[in-house]
Amino acid sequence: MQVPFLDLKRVNESFGIELEEAFKRVHQSGWFIQGKELELFESEFADYSEVSHCVGVGNGLEAIHLLLKAYGIGPGDEVIVPSNTFIATWLAVTECGAIPVPAEPDPKTHNISIHAIEAALTPKTVAIIPVHLYGQPADMDPILALADKYGLVVIEDAAQAQGAKYKGRRIGGLGHAGATSFYPGKNLGALGDGGAVLTNDSEIAAKVRKLRNYGSKVKYQHDVLGYNSRLDELQAAFLRVKLRRLDDDNQVRKNIANHYSYCLSNSDLILPDVPDWADPVWHLYVIRTKNRDNLQQYLRSHGVETLVHYPIPPHQQECYATMKFKPLPIAEQFAEQVLSLPISSVICDTDLNYVVSLLKDFRA
Ligand SMILES: *Cc1c(COP(=O)(O)O)cnc(C)c1O
């Protein structure tokens, strides 16, 4: 039996002819950049995310980068980021010339710890980027209180958590602004690259709109140095189709996660911990074990594909060697112990039960 980590072909096939109809609509319109589909998607995704503005951009990294730019963050500024995240969160900061200052996670939730944030504060701190990692909301209230006290900007990295809720409210619009990604494997994935900025701040939304489009609001007038980072009409049209089913797809992921947690509760594996205020959307189901490499090899030999998110934490990446970050023991331990089990909106019960039975049989 073969169980892939994520079968994107099946995910997209499950939308039947709807995606092909979206393609036809854009194809026949003859309009491919900044048109009706983008406008409609932006308004639909803003409503879904409970914010007043959504600005479609080229990808998730650019969504964070353009937000940092819109807030005027640059050289000399420090931005607190999780030590345990995909490197894009850090790259957006260094792309602006600012300094990423890592904060370690809470070992139970894997999300950024408020105590670590407090310890990382300096007079140069201007912003915090909490990541709703694996689809689980970060604990936003203490972060927002701290930000308020010190006058810091809070940008949520919501790339892994479309649809998740924190204390009953959608993530993405809880801080000053949020950034998300529609990379094909995300919970709301396009058929190519895509991303968006979410905010209730109309001034910031207008700035990002300009920045994504060569620094221009009126054609051929450029009042700021901008970029080309846009969500194209085809991707917007596909995303409109997929957004309509996002809550249902996330419910399927929740059922899978609950099944894993229920069946594996007596094992030696460290399972995801969900605080009672969190309504996660399970972009990833991440377990921890000291025998990670053996377990992965064992599953692979039985046809089950798992992944490691992430094998090398950002501060240990070659690209940051000159910045000489101090050791970050929790992130480093996670890199050695985490394993992501197959999860998606299209895994069938047979596959799921097969994975569970293998995990139950595993002896280190
Ligand atoms: C995927 C991801 C990004 C980057 O999104 P891209 O669209 O691939 O640029 C940023 N942050 C996190 C946490 C991600 O998982």
Averaged pLDDT of the chain: 97
- CA distances to 125, 142, 210 from 203, rounded to whole Å, are 22, 25, 11
- CA distances to 29, 229, 230 from 51, rounded to whole Å, are 29, 21, 20
The pTM is what? 0.98
CA of 132 to the centre of ligand 1 (A): 11
Joined tokens for residue 299: 């599953």
Mutation test of ligand 1: which of 91, 160, 212, 284 has the most ligand atoms closer than 8 Å to its C-beta? 160
Looking at the DSSP assignment, which residues form a beta bridge with residue 56? 196
Q: Is residue 364's pLDDT more than 80? A: no
For residue 363, the model assigns a pLDDT of: 81
pLDDT in tens, 26-39: 999 999 999 999 99
Burial (0-12, 13-18, 19+ Cβ within 10 Å), 20: exposed
For residue 16, the model assigns a pLDDT of: 87
Respond yes or no on whether the N-terminal peptide bond of residue 48 is cis (omega within 30° of 0).
no
CA of 60 to the centre of ligand 1 (A): 5
Domain with CATH 3.40.640.10 in the chain: 8-104+111-243
Answer yes or no: are the C-beta atoms of 113 and 329 closer than 8 Å. no
Q: Are strands 99-103 and 78-82 parallel, antiparallel or unpaired?
A: parallel
Joined tokens for residue 138: 């970060």
The helix-helix angle for 349-361 and 292-301 (nearest 10°) equals 130
Domain with CATH 3.90.1150.10 in the chain: 246-361
Burial (0-12, 13-18, 19+ Cβ within 10 Å), 181: buried
Closest CA to 122 of 155, 90, 98: 98
User: Does 156 contact ligand 1 (Cβ within 6 A)?
Assistant: no
For residue 91, the model assigns a pLDDT of: 98
Report which protein residue has its CA nearest ligand 1's atom 4: 60
Reported confidence tier of residue 229, pLDDT bands at 50, 70, 90: very high
- Kind and range of the H or E element at 192? none
**Residue from 186, 207, 210, 242 carrying the catalytic annotation:** 186
Q: Please state which of the four CATH numbers 3.90.1150.10, 3.40.640.10, 1.10.3720.10, 3.90.190.20 is assigned to the domain occupying 8-104+111-243.
A: 3.40.640.10
For residue 347, the model assigns a pLDDT of: 95
Looking at the DSSP assignment, which residues form a beta bridge with residue 67? none
CA-to-CA distance for 206 and 196, rounded, in angstroms?
13
CA of 1 to the centre of ligand 1 (A): 31
CA-to-CA distance for 309 and 230, rounded, in angstroms?
27
- Kind and range of the H or E element at 60? helix 60-70
Average pLDDT over residues 131-158: 98
pLDDT in tens, 279-324: 999 999 999 999 999 999 999 999 999 999 999 999 999 999 999 9
- The residues, any chain, with a CB within 8 Å of residue 92's CB and separated by 6 or more, are 61, 62, 64, 65, 68, 129, 179
Ligand 1 atom index nearest CA of 186: 1
> In terms of CATH architecture, what is 246-361?
Alpha-Beta Complex (3.90)
DSSP per-residue string spanning 270-322:
BPP---TTEE---S-EEEE-TTHHHHHHHHHHTTB--B-S-SS-GGGSGGGGG
DSSP for residue 7: -
For the question of residue 186 being annotated catalytic, the response is: yes
For residue 64, the model assigns a pLDDT of: 98
CA-to-CA distance for 280 and 251, rounded, in angstroms?
10
Average pLDDT over residues 212-236: 96
